[in-house]
Structure 1
Amino acid sequence: MALRPVQVNIKAVDCRSLGRFWAEALGWTAYAPGVTTYVGPDDGLVWPDPVGVGIDIVPVPEPGTTAKNRVHLDLATKSTAHQAELVARLRSLGATPADVGQGDVPWTVLTDPEGNEFCVLEPREVYQDTGPIAAVVVDCADPRAMASFWAEATGWTLRQVTDTQAVLRSADGTGPFLEFIRTPDTKTVPDRVHLDLLPYPGDDRAAEVARLRRLGATDLDVGQGEVPWTCLADPEGHEFCVLAPS
């Protein structure tokens, strides 16, 4: 039993505008099938059986706070020239440089037009086959414990683990990595970025939710009311949702 990470959920005051930004950033297409804006590859909407990790931008009335998100995206590049071109293009689209204490590093930290942090990485061989999203990165206190929970939750393979970093990727070695980085800061506000998981076709969503609770997930009330998905928090309090198959 396992669940597929199928989208990164981003809250936004103007989800249509932010969807256009991320579509341009990733070279994908923004779709607006309902109240949310889905950003994915150009072969059209593949819901309810997506084959990769897309972005779903959800409208909310309140803007984000100044607190740093504890989940962010790392974008892959093919060369130093590509990195420089992508950073310049993103800034022309409304991204702004951000200082999150990174110091002198070879990657560039930016925020999208609604203040969500992301990184444009220098070219790295490990990310050359991921597509435009190299990794979904999660700040945490205990990377080993987090990797253990999420490996069980998703069935993804542990690629690297130390006291400061743990790395997962899908068992077939496709798509972005899921990385847990030890940071000294603690969670103070709900994240505006989180993962959404989906059962495989034919699997029982209620059974999967019960399994996650046994692994250490807890129920979460973010004011969602009666909805067809289940809101949970992982053992360190990061929000995520288990979606309905259709």
Structure 2
Amino acid sequence: MKRKLHALAAAALLTASSYSLAATVNIGGLNVPVGPVFTVASLYENVITEVGQELSGVGEVTQINGMAISELCAGCELTYHFGGYTVTDFTATTIEFSGGWANFYLGFDADNDFNPFASGSSAEDLAAATNGTLWLTLSGHQIDAAGNTFAGTGTDIGTPSAVGFGAGLADVDHTGMMFGNTAGAGALANNAFDTNAIPADFAGNADFQLGSSFSNVLLPHPNECPGGPECLAGSVDIRGVIPEPETYALMLAGLGVVGFVARRRSRKL
């Protein structure tokens, strides 16, 4: 399994090295660098204790390509909510998941309010993480022959003392309905990140490579643990690609042509 996780990370790094960081694309008010995009985020998730359980949680993107979110948009936050990762197998040192989805939300002004260490509960964190504009919707991408989409290694997995690391792949989900997601379509950044730029051994190339760390330290609501929804904390790195400005413009123009042709056909019918 360790070889699998290392291969996923290496594939993302090799892909990222073939692009430049010459410009940004404004998506809903957030200026995202073109080329390889390396995102760092906080992570708060539940403790898994048996096969069949669902991993879920929330977090906040803190940096993109080494720049704080506040440098990329004024008075905003980029938060996320994930779920649908179903445990298919685990031991004290390994864990595997199938399915999975993640929704990102861009919040300004009153919706710039995610702060787990100042909130009263995990329920307040979830509300704050999802009250912005739907910005990106992802679904898990197959990483092995068994159909898993995410895998981890560590110690004491299956207990509140779990510590470890994980890796997986994800695709842009234009429907926002994969693997039990209910966010729906229309996320602002979906078209920009739908590049299939991350090499994958199964089901074609992916749009994102995911990595995570987790432990039971720095919990925002320890009184809710060990059975609460935020009883492991850590970080996530998310690697994707936004095409260079010329390619991105051509892609948007192509989408416009498709829409124009579809409207003409509908009128004729």
Q: Classify the TM-score, shorter chain.
A: under 0.3
TM-score w.r.t. length of structure 2: 0.25
Q: Which is higher, the Rg of structure 1 or of structure 2?
A: 2
TM-score w.r.t. length of structure 1: 0.26
